[in-house]
Amino acid sequence: MNSGLASKEAQFSRAGFQNNTTGHFLALPNEVLEDIFGFIDPIDLHESVSVVNKRIYDVIQNENFWRLRFQQRNCFRSSAYSPYLKHLGLYSHKWKSGEDMRWQDICISFERAKKLWFDNCKTIDIEAGYLTADAVHLMEKQDILLTGSRSRMLEVWNLNEPSKPVKSTSAHKSWISGVSTLEDMIITSSFDYVVKMWSASRLEPLAYLNVLNAVMSIDVRPRMIVCCTFPDLIIIDPRIARPDNFYSSPMPKGSAVQIKFWKEYVIIATRNKKLIKYDLRQQKIVDSTDIVTKNPPRVMEIKDDIAYIGDTAGYVYLYDLLENYQLIDEYQVSENAQIRFLSPRDGYMIVGSKDGQLRVVSNVKRNQESFLLSSIDLGNEIITGHYRNNNFAVVTNHANVKVFLPQRIPDHVKDTQELCQEMGMEC
């Protein structure tokens, strides 16, 4: 028991409530308490009421109570069946995948999504150059944004002073296709065949690798970078700074759309509607499966052992990576508009499409139809986006970047000089 809960227990004990509840609120049966708690906002119930004392905490932990709350507040029929919730193990006593998920977690996640997106959300607008930015990345330090554009520029932005970049450099000889970070390095890729590693503090190149073909997609994790060119999967060890320090593995026919790490594998989605699983230990393809999509894939993300794939016709598909890419469910998000940005969360996903719409879509359908929790029209075609730490950035055409910051604004906002000093960057 944490100290806050222990102190609450002590207060109730001193008041005589803990030992003698006759005629007191706590003497009510659990069923009556649950009915009363049903009138309280679920987030308040979870964050405040549950820590009053142990009796109330135990009542609120009842999973059947949260299942009912989830269904009532979202107008789901009690008998409705959801393939997504089945995948998470909520219809059985055994967890199937990912982190342990409870009805309480799903219900709270939905309630937070309704409040976070998009009505009470701080936004920042950035003009990132005169040509479209194809890559955007929020750094772990939430005040820093990176953009890579068709003007070949890599730019570093302070979100507290977004009128101009803190640093910028001509990074490549062609369009920048990807930007990411790995520890204290920035990783960029381009159609000029080159992957570069940069010092995050000085924005100076540390190493570059010519991978012999245009790079379409990259992903990073500690001690490893993977990227896809038109014909090959490229594996890079960032600790060895040599131009030829990469391993190349031929891919089946069909150019890669997205590449993502998953456990000890790399999952690749291709334009010819395949999901490819590459084993990093065996250094070979161990599975290649045709997937059912109405149009070729456009974006892919992975969460809770599910591959989320958005296609070029406005649909999002969920595939079970533990069950031979079995289709879990499909969602029509837009009317024939390409899915350009996709971020899966607990129970829902944030989806950006070519028609300029950002939608928060439930993974649990209502009456067999896709269910919107919230939406906003950005008024311009969405190109790409990146989600991190409850914030996300979306690029629209003409290199406009809109950053959504739903978290509480800190009392002290760092100016550019403070931010540069913190990062060891000369500004």
Annotation: CATH topology of 120-423: Methylamine Dehydrogenase; Chain H (2.130.10)
Q: pLDDT at position 201, please?
A: 87
pLDDT in tens, 6-21: 454 444 444 444 445 5
- What is the band of 205 on the pLDDT scale with cuts at 50, 70, 90? very high
Q: pLDDT at position 142, please?
A: 63
Q: pLDDT at position 413, please?
A: 42
Tally: H helices and E strands in the chain: 8, 28
Q: pLDDT at position 11, please?
A: 47
Strand ranges of the sheet holding 372-377, from the earlier edge strand across to the other edge: 339-344, 348-353, 357-362, 372-377
Q: How many Å apart are CA 225 and CA 384, to the nearest integer?
A: 21
pLDDT in tens, 119-151: 778 899 998 766 788 999 999 876 899 999 999
Task: Report whether pLDDT(391) > 80.
Answer: yes
Using DSSP, state whether 124 is helix, strand or coil.
strand
Q: pLDDT at position 14, please?
A: 42
pLDDT in tens, 365-382: 998 888 899 999 999 999
Rounded to a whole number of angstroms, the distance between the first and last alpha carbons of the chain is 48
The DSSP-derived string for 372-410 is EEEEEE-SS-EEEEEEETTEEEEEEGGGEEEEEE-SPPP
Mean pLDDT of 50-65: 90
Mean pLDDT of 68-95: 83
DSSP assignment, residue 101? -
- What is the band of 398 on the pLDDT scale with cuts at 50, 70, 90? confident
**Structure-derived torsion over alpha carbons of residues 236, 239, 241, 242, reported in degrees to the nearest 10:** -50
% of the chain with per-residue pLDDT over 90: 59
Return the H-helix or E-strand segment holding 192. Answer: none
- What is the band of 5 on the pLDDT scale with cuts at 50, 70, 90? very low
Q: How many Å apart are CA 308 and CA 321, to the nearest integer?
A: 10
Mean pLDDT of 207-223: 92
Highest mean pLDDT among 78-82, 97-101, 357-361: 357-361
Task: Indicate left, alpha or beta for 389 from its phi (over 0: left) and psi (-120 to 50: alpha).
Answer: left
Q: Domains of the chain: which residue ranges? A: 3-115, 120-423
